């Protein structure tokens, strides 16, 4: 899944060069771990945080399953939002 930030133009390829840090999961292998608020995960008020990963980074199985979970929720029609770590813009997954 690719995400494109309309705020700063960055493209994040989830699981390839980027990670999504949901408020539901802690990704211990991710350098920029941020635990978001306790509201509804992925909501506009409590979006998933997406950040570029350090070079040479390999996603853990836990993180990949996290990404798959987000993708599955989107396929079921969930409205979910993500936040670009670089510029802070909140966008809806498309
Ligand atoms: Zn951005």
**34 pLDDT above the threshold of 60:** no
57-84 residue pLDDT tens: 777 777 787 788 888 888 998 888 888 9
Q: Helices then strands (H, E): number in the chain?
A: 1, 6
pLDDT at 92: 93
Ligand 1 mean position to 93 CA, how many Å? 13
pLDDT for the residue numbered 33? 40
- Residue ranges of the domains in the chain? 2-92
Q: What is the mean pLDDT of the chain?
A: 77
Q: What does the pLDDT read at residue 40?
A: 63
Q: How far is the CA of 5 from the centre of ligand 1 (A)?
A: 5
CA of 53 to the centre of ligand 1 (A): 14
Q: 6 C-alpha vs ligand 1 centroid, how far in Å? A: 6
Residue 4 in tokens:
């494109």
């Amino acid at each position: 899944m690719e995400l494109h930030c309309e705020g700063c133009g960055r493209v994040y390829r989830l699981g390839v060069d980027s990670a999504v840090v949901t408020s539901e999961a802690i990704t211990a292998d991710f350098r920029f771990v941020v635990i978001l608020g306790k509201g509804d995960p992925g909501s506009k008020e409590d979006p998933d945080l997406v950040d570029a990963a350090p070079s040479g980074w390999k996603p853990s199985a836990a993180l990949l399953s996290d990404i798959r979970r987000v993708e599955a929720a989107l396929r079921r029609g969930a409205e979910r939002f993500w936040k670009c770590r670089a510029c802070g813009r909140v966008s809806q997954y498309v």
